[in-house]
Amino acid sequence: MARYNGPVCRLCRRQGSKLFLKGDRCYTDKCAVERRPSEPGRSAQAKRIKKLTHYGIQLREKQKMRNMYGLLERQFHNLFKKAEQKHGVTGDNFIQFLERRLDNVIFRMGFTNSRAKARQIVNHSHILVNRKKVNIPSYMIDIDDVIEVKESSQNISDFKDLKQGETDINVPSWLDVDFNNLKGKVVKLPSKEDVDLPVDEKLVVEYYSR
């Protein structure tokens, strides 16, 4: 499947905020947004900065949200259409579908420090869902699903650190994680209140509904 392989720091600079696409490195002073806050391709000394129209603001929020979850436009739009067809508030449904992706769940459980790395772990068949191998990052998890690292993969250095408790991880309330066994369970479906996103999903809904 096609995937963006360019410099991810450029995406953060383009949106004007940290999207935390490189995990822990985004918290250091090496972050590109901290060092070069100007947009890529635009001089920091540029005096003429275009004021965004309402459409431009909507587009920027959509791009920011899409970049955060690491999806291409078709995948992102297809999930929106699915959220739109479901009963309830479209924006809340959309966030729930994005959060329920297996790669995002692995990231939220704290097994990796970025969604890109979580996607790689899933692709390499290190993850079991309900004791069955799943190597599809877009796989939708459900309530009571059990996600775990395959036993033969638990000797990977990153997983060893987790088992030894050498990381401080804040796990969201909709997940129950046992780091000693590298296993987690979905105790409820995620809601908007469970997700701290620096994005206004209403603008994303407006963008696709125009």
pLDDT tens-digit series, residues 76-113: 999 999 999 999 999 999 999 999 999 999 999 999 98
The pLDDT assigned to 1 comes to 45
3 state SS of 174: coil
Examine the pLDDT at 187 and tell me if it is beyond 70.
yes
> CA 208, CA 105: separation in Å to the nearest integer?
25
- pLDDT of 158 reads 80
CATH number of 101-189: 3.10.290.10
pLDDT in tens, 9-49: 555 555 566 555 655 554 455 555 566 666 666 554 554 55
* More confident call, 70 vs 31: 70
Contacts of 186 (CB under 8 A, 6+ apart): 105, 141, 142, 143, 144, 145, 147, 174, 175
Measure the CA–CA gap between 121 and 209, rounded to whole angstroms. Answer: 35
Whole-number pLDDT of residue 129? 98
Instruction: Decide if 109 contacts 175 (C-beta within 8 A).
Output: yes
Q: Are 124 and 152 in contact (CB under 8 A)?
A: no
What is the predicted pLDDT for the residue at 210?
Answer: 87
Cα distance between residue 124 and residue 194, in whole Å: 29
Q: What is the pLDDT of residues 157-181, one digit of tens each?
A: 888 888 877 667 889 999 999 999 9
1-50: CATH, from 3.40.720.10, 1.10.1050.10, 3.40.50.2000, 1.10.10.10: 1.10.1050.10
Residue ranges of domains in the chain: 1-50, 101-189
Give the pair of three-digit tokens for residue 110.
């704290």
Q: Which two tokens stand for residue 81?
A: 């259409």
For residues 13 and 36, is the Cβ–Cβ distance under 8 A? yes
pLDDT on residue 32: 58
On whether the CB atoms of residues 177 and 155 are closer than 8 A, the answer is no
Residue 137 corresponds to which tokens in the numbers above?
A: 């990052």
| Residue 81 CA, distance from chain mean position | 19
In this chain, the answer to whether the domains covering 1-50 and 101-189 adopt an identical fold is no
Token pair listed for 115: 């969604």
β-strands 146-149, 175-178: how paired?
Answer: unpaired
Of 120-124, 141-145, 153-157, the one with minimum mean pLDDT is: 153-157
pLDDT in tens, 114-140: 999 999 999 999 999 999 999 999 999
Q: Is the pLDDT of residue 192 over 70?
A: yes
Q: What is the dihedral of CA 157, 160, 161, 164, to 10 degrees?
A: -160
Residue pair 71/116 in contact (Cβ under 8 Å)? The answer is no
3-class secondary-structure state, position 127 = strand
